[in-house]
Structure 1
Amino acid sequence: MSERKIAVIGTGYVGLVSGTSFAHAGHDVTCCDVDQGKIERLRQADITIYEPGLDVLVSENMRQGRLHFTTNIDEAVQQSAFIFIAVGTPMSESGEADMTYIQSAARMIGKAINGYKIVVTKSTVPVGTGRKLEQWIREEAPHARFDVVSNPEFLREGSAVYDSLNMERVIIGASQPSAADAVAQIYEPFGSVIVKTTLESAEMIKYASNTFLATKISFINAIANLCEHLGADVEEVAHGMGLDGRIGHRFLQAGIGYGGSCFPKDTYALQYMAREQGYDFSLLDAVIETNERQRLIVIEKLTKALGNVKGKRIAVLGLSFKPNTDDMRDAPSLTVVPIMTQLGATVRVYDPIAAEEARKHFGDSVTYCESVYEAVEQCDACIVLTEWETIVKADWQMIRSAMAAPVLIDGRNCWPLEDMHKAGFYYDSIGRQLIPSYAHEKVQVTM
């Protein structure tokens, strides 16, 4: 049994990208899942998630014989020295991370284990999970030899392939130094900075990192809202702030808040952990509250421009939580679109990738369009929720001509104010000057 033979349990976003990257680095990787349909698709190099460049990487490593897919988890565990757990930890109603799939994976490992193994958690799990993992495996295999290691992932959806091959750091938490050293050897081909910690510290690093980034986003959004009241421009403010090396420019782009599979889930999970420990994490409470409130800003701006939106025809451009992914988990569109339909608006939507995913949420309550120009046809207003390149680079003179009234609510600050002024839009963005322009003469605006 080769020390470089790896099993990855879970072929979702984390498992598929991580497993493929390990194979690309020269390891022999078997990705496992209980979903037969998903495994059959992957065996045909039919990628089950949208991630730029991943299909090429999967196909290449399958051809090289380094990447395999199976539903036979027992066999994969028995033939591998390292077992990475990369199953989902969805948020429960209480905000706590749901550990059902983690526990199930642990028990499967315990039942199949046939020699010394290093079990590595890639999934984002609450602090203390590593110890529970040991217990769950031990309950199935009392005399088994194994070590548990925490190795959280830090991939960004939309650029995960690049991130996985150019890691800024690798966090390895373990009780046994020999197990940490063995996992570190897996990452040697990547040339990354490797940080070894305790199990608990590694688990906390993941939550602390995502929560800090979420805090930066909520902070700049709160500043943006204040800028609108005081006449400042949030982009100038953020630029001036970011020049301070202690602050930096990243995650200081004002908008309608964070979404996706990580930040909302992880902030709620950390909030739950704090409450369980009796700690008043009021800063985190404010971050979450600010983000939830922020996505309503575009609705407020729309009603400010149009008054009552009942009977109005509204275009929504961008449905995924960010560009270059079809992921709509906690996307602002999931809040904004239903509110507009409830208010009586006729909603037309466009997203270059996430339209099929959107149908699962919106059904027939909206009209799905094939292009930006189709979406805005004869619309009374347009709301931008995701800064896809096809949206940002659209011909706005053509769009203005197609709309019944050129009202543009930009939730992502995609365009310079002067350009929108010249184009003749009523243009309202986040934390910047309102430009009534031509539309002010044609649309009833409540100031």
Structure 2
Amino acid sequence: MRITMIGSGYVGLVSGACFSDFGHDVVCVDKDSAKIDALRAGRMPIFEPGLDQLVAANVAAGRLTFTTDLAGAAADADAIFIAVGTPSRRGDGHADLSYVFAATEEIAAAITGPTVVVTKSTVPVGTGDRVEAILREKRPDIDIAVVSNPEFLREGAAIGDFKRPDRIVIGTDDERAMQVMRNVYRPLYLNESPILFVGRRTSELIKYAANAFLATKITFINEIADLCEAVGADVQDVSRGIGLDNRIGKKFLHAGPGYGGSCFPKDTLALLKTAEDYQSPIHIVEAVVKVNDSRKRAMGRKVIEALGDEPRGKTVALLGLTFKPNTDDMRDAPSLAIATALADAGVAVRAYDPEGMDAARALMPDITYCADAYDAADNVDAVVIVTEWDAFRALDFDRLKASMAACRIIDLRNIYRRDDVERRGFAYTAVGR
């Protein structure tokens, strides 16, 4: 099949590369000519494990190309995917749909025959209706079906998630569009990946409901962690104890400094705005957003308290800056709030992240960036583990002790055991333990 992917960011690039790996002919479109030039040269705009090899293999096979020419790419496509950004709109938290509608206008001008237009961008309920209205107004002469097909990709594991999905959600009641989408996902259908055909509005809501529920699980266990500290319990044992219940499940029950990234913060806000617009408030999600925001600031206070009575003038090393490992994404990362709290308290910050340093420099220009974890720990009063990169799971404590001004580990991801750390002569602070 001939597939056009509008938007070559995280979702568009991963989806386009995977579709081409299925054997489809895919053209990825982006208005950013520098990004397209880089992709043609084999340079990825994001860090995602395995993506560079996947792109290179399919470019070499002639199945994957990149262009700034949307009109040429969309003219004869069997399916046109919209995978542009939908960031939170300044001032009110609504999803900014301007890029989606701009792409829709260009599609309307480009298509020459029956077309299936697929919104893969995360969009509020009813967006597909507006996309369809634009297309039908501009091109009443052409049979156009608009489909919702949300993505469920985890940064750091996106290729595996795309090729071995828990489910594929397709929102349409158009028979022709259903068949096109079956053909698009035929390799996964043959592997018996569940394909769920639902109404378009239902599909749009599934995406938001899924992210809000996962954000709720994270926020729930973070509040339980605070209670564990108050009563003398261990949140990791609590997580295991409840996670073994199949009705609850063990995933997303790891206490930490709060969620961040490109999805949960903006999608919970967008869901709340949709609920507000339809006068159907979701108080649980309201609480999740409020608690998560305060959680990140509380982690800054936790580090400051662990430094003792006189934190001003001390120095800490932040290990991990991205919102999660195996990505270079700094959007709404807990490290941002923690570094700000430390600076406000007069604490100097040295930092290291395996992939997020360039993005972090633009957001936190006043901290010191280091070559590796041990360079960051040089002469500091505490090492703070903010992101659970594998590179930080087996630190050489003897080497750390030799270089640190004070032997103190503040583990905001609970990746170490207290007795192991204290046996090596370090003071240890964890979350919910």
TM-score bin, normalised by smaller chain: over 0.9
Does the aligned pair in 1 maintain the 2:297–2:341 contact within 8 Å?
A: no
Does the aligned pair in 2 maintain the 1:316–1:382 contact within 8 Å?
A: yes
**What is the deviation of 1:185?**
1.8
> 1:142, 1:307 → 2: CA distance?
71
Name structure 1 gaps, 5 residues minimum. Answer: 433-447
**What is the deviation of 1:181?**
2.5
Residues 72-123 of structure 1: CA deviation (Å, up to 9, x unaligned): 1001110211000000000113111000100000000011111100000100
> 1:308, 1:330 → 2: CA distance?
29
**Aligned residue in 2 for 1:345:** 347
**Aligned residue in 1 for 2:176:** 178
**Aligned residue in 2 for 1:439:** none
> 2:211, 2:177 → 1: CA distance?
26
> 1:6, 1:127 → 2: CA distance?
25
**What is the deviation of 1:59?**
0.4
Partner-residue secondary structure (3-state), 2:171: strand
What is the one-letter code of the residue matched to 2:77?
S
Partner-residue secondary structure (3-state), 2:34: helix
1:279 correspondence with 2:280: yes
The farther-off stretch of 21-30 and 413-422 is 413-422
Does the aligned pair in 2 maintain the 1:298–1:409 contact within 8 Å?
A: no
> 1:183, 1:88 → 2: CA distance?
22
> 2:300, 2:402 → 1: CA distance?
24
> 1:431, 1:227 → 2: CA distance?
5
**What is the deviation of 1:297?**
2.9
> 2:242, 2:53 → 1: CA distance?
39
Does the aligned pair in 2 maintain the 1:152–1:206 contact within 8 Å?
A: yes
Partner-residue secondary structure (3-state), 1:295: helix
**What is the deviation of 1:175?**
3.0
**What is the deviation of 1:348?**
0.4
Partner-residue secondary structure (3-state), 2:325: coil
2:362 to 355, 360, 363: 360
**Aligned residue in 2 for 1:445:** none
**What is the deviation of 1:269?**
0.5
Does the aligned pair in 2 maintain the 1:110–1:139 contact within 8 Å?
A: no
**Aligned residue in 1 for 2:429:** 428
What is the one-letter code of the residue matched to 1:323?
P
**Aligned residue in 2 for 1:290:** 291
What is the one-letter code of the residue matched to 1:85?
I
Residues 42-70 of structure 1: CA deviation (Å, up to 9, x unaligned): 11111111000000000000111100111
Does the aligned pair in 1 maintain the 2:304–2:345 contact within 8 Å?
A: no
**What is the deviation of 1:152?**
0.3
Partner-residue secondary structure (3-state), 2:331: coil
Partner-residue secondary structure (3-state), 1:30: strand
Residues 353-381 of structure 1: CA deviation (Å, up to 9, x unaligned): 11111111012x11100111110111012
What is the one-letter code of the residue matched to 1:74?
A
**Aligned residue in 1 for 2:324:** 322
> 1:269, 1:352 → 2: CA distance?
31
1:311 correspondence with 2:313: yes
**Aligned residue in 1 for 2:4:** 7
> 2:368, 2:137 → 1: CA distance?
53
**Aligned residue in 2 for 1:34:** 31
**Aligned residue in 2 for 1:69:** 66
Residues 399-438 of structure 1: matches in 2 within 5 Å?
399-432=400-433
Residues 187-245 of structure 1: CA deviation (Å, up to 9, x unaligned): 11022210000000000010011111111000011101100001110000110101111
**Aligned residue in 2 for 1:202:** 203
Does the aligned pair in 1 maintain the 2:312–2:345 contact within 8 Å?
A: yes
**What is the deviation of 1:161?**
1.2
> 2:294, 2:415 → 1: CA distance?
21
CA RMSD of aligned residues (A): 1.1
**Aligned residue in 2 for 1:95:** 93
2:137 to 136, 139, 150: 139
Partner-residue secondary structure (3-state), 2:4: strand
Give % identity.
47
**What is the deviation of 1:275?**
1.2
**Aligned residue in 2 for 1:122:** 120
1:110 to 108, 111, 114: 108
Residues 77-88 of structure 1: matches in 2 within 5 Å?
77-88=74-85
1:216 correspondence with 2:214: no
> 2:157, 2:338 → 1: CA distance?
26
The farther-off stretch of 337-346 and 72-81 is 337-346
What is the one-letter code of the residue matched to 2:79?
F
Runs of 4+ in 1 over 3 A off after TM superposition: none
Partner-residue secondary structure (3-state), 2:75: helix
> 1:243, 1:346 → 2: CA distance?
42
The farther-off stretch of 132-141 and 310-319 is 132-141
**What is the deviation of 1:141?**
2.1
2:13 to 12, 16, 30: 16
1:369 correspondence with 2:366: no
**What is the deviation of 1:307?**
2.5
> 1:273, 1:20 → 2: CA distance?
32
Partner-residue secondary structure (3-state), 1:404: coil
1:334 correspondence with 2:331: no
Name structure 2 gaps, 5 residues minimum. Answer: none
**What is the deviation of 1:409?**
1.4
TM-score using structure 2 length = 0.97
Residues 402-439 of structure 1: CA deviation (Å, up to 9, x unaligned): 1111122111111011111212221111100xxxxxxx
Does the aligned pair in 2 maintain the 1:224–1:431 contact within 8 Å?
A: yes
Residues 9-55 of structure 1: CA deviation (Å, up to 9, x unaligned): 00000000000000000100000011111111111111111000000
Partner-residue secondary structure (3-state), 2:272: helix
1:44 correspondence with 2:44: no
1:263 correspondence with 2:264: yes
Count of aligned pairs between the two proteins: 428
